[in-house]
Amino acid sequence: MENVKFYTLDEVKDKHIGKIGTPQREKYEAELQSFIVGEAIKQARKAQKMTQQQLAEKIGVQRAQVSKIENGRNLTLSTVARCFKAMGLEASLSVSGLGNFLL
């Protein structure tokens, strides 16, 4: 049997996206985090059986804006906080060295 080389996820990212600290890697990491937050908002909305239109009305934006938020675009801390608050959920932000803060 031939030897097969296995790579860690970090090795693959370093090779194909760029090493940590490079502009390409920073952009990738930021987009990934935005996607994860948007997906959390979408899952919370669906768990409450709420439509994008209903969430949009609760936070005072158009339905298209909720779609963008759920796709990780146009995210701000204020927008994230408004979305979770409108669904009756509490969100917190953890800052290394400073602790947790409620949004």
**Which tokens in the block code for residue 70?**
């759920």
Task: Write down the pTM of the prediction.
Answer: 0.80
**Tens of each residue's pLDDT in the chain, 103 residues:** 688 999 999 899 999 999 999 999 999 999 999 999 999 999 999 999 999 999 999 999 999 999 999 999 989 989 999 999 999 998 887 788 887 777 7
- 3-class secondary-structure state, position 100: strand
Q: Is the dihedral of CA 71, 75, 79, 81 positive or negative?
A: positive
**How many other CB atoms are there within 10 angstroms of residue 83's CB atom?**
28
CA distances from 48 to 17, 54, 88 (A): 36, 11, 10
CA of residue 42 relative to chain centroid, distance: 10
